[in-house]
Amino acid sequence: MKVKLGHIELQNPVIPASGTCGFGQEMSEWFDLNILGAIATKGTTREPRYGNALPRIAECPAGLINAIGLQNPGVDEVIAHELPALRQLYRGPIIANISGFSIDEYAHVCERIDKETDAAILELNISCPNVHNGGMAFGTSPEAAAEVTKAVKAVTTKPVFVKLSPNVTDIASIACACVDAGADGLCLINTMLGMRIDIRRRQPVIANRYGGYSGPGVFPVALRMVNQVYKACPGTPIIGCGGVGSAEDVIEMMMAGASAVEIGAANLQNPMVCREIIETLPEIMKQLKINHLQDIIGVV
């Protein structure tokens, strides 16, 4: 079940997605983290953030809408406490998810995390739809995506994977712009912009009005976009995410072109889902006559 993200080897392709497992300590209460292929940490900004006003999460058919707003303790706290605490629990690759509200902030936070031996990959979140004046603003045009990617690559040595937004007309052009600007890999998709309304109160269900829609309902969209980007950016490793909730979904996502897969909303419904997928994968591989997962990447 071993796969590779560039030169970094994972014992399996299963990764809890950023924002769905905190900094790992919460998930460690459910199972041994060392069974995971990698862990993507909570998105980190320069300053501590409380996030958006409550309520900021709502269930909906085939998924949920969230507008957490990048709640996190800030890069100083992450470096001083969160990453070392996670390393005490987990021996595998740590993917540090980085967010920001300006190119300078992205570069500053990435440069700080780049010096930390506990982080193996920097995941550049230019696709968060839940905050104002940041995140997705950099992920909706090839020029802006390339600019922030180039700025981060200029101050870092670790592999940089850019997390892309599905809320665009041509994700392949943005992906290629990031690769041309130096991105070592890509992660897609982040959440789709959605909304729910409380028809009795005649108000949006979440205080932020709009939020990121995730869960099984977005899986076909994610699969299509991963496949498009795989074909448009040959040789670039892709972490596929968006509605993945089973071992079969992992296989399908890898066949579309993903080298590894992040599990997001499913973690919030079932904290054991990553372990269950890892335990089920060998049997699914046997049924499908797959000897090595690496062999099925992009076969479609």
Residues of the chain below pLDDT 70 = 129-136
Place of tokens 């790992």: 24
Given this model, what pLDDT does residue 67 score? 93
Given this model, what pLDDT does residue 138 score? 84
Given this model, what pLDDT does residue 11 score? 98
128 tagged catalytic: yes
Given this model, what pLDDT does residue 137 score? 72
Decide: 172 and 232 in contact? Cβ < 8 Å: yes
Domain boundaries, the chain: 3-52+67-192+214-296
* Annotation: CATH topology of 3-52+67-192+214-296: TIM Barrel (3.20.20)
Given this model, what pLDDT does residue 186 score? 98
Over residues 123-168, the pLDDT tens digits come to 999 977 655 555 667 888 999 999 999 999 999 999 999 999 999 9
Catalytic residue among 21, 60, 110, 128: 128
Place of tokens 């991963």: 226
Within 10 angstroms of residue 19's Cβ, the number of other Cβ atoms is 28
Decide: 97 and 71 in contact? Cβ < 8 Å: no
Over residues 185-214, the pLDDT tens digits come to 999 999 999 999 999 999 999 999 999 999
Of the candidates 114, 112, 111, 142, the residue with the CA atom closest to the CA atom of residue 126? 142
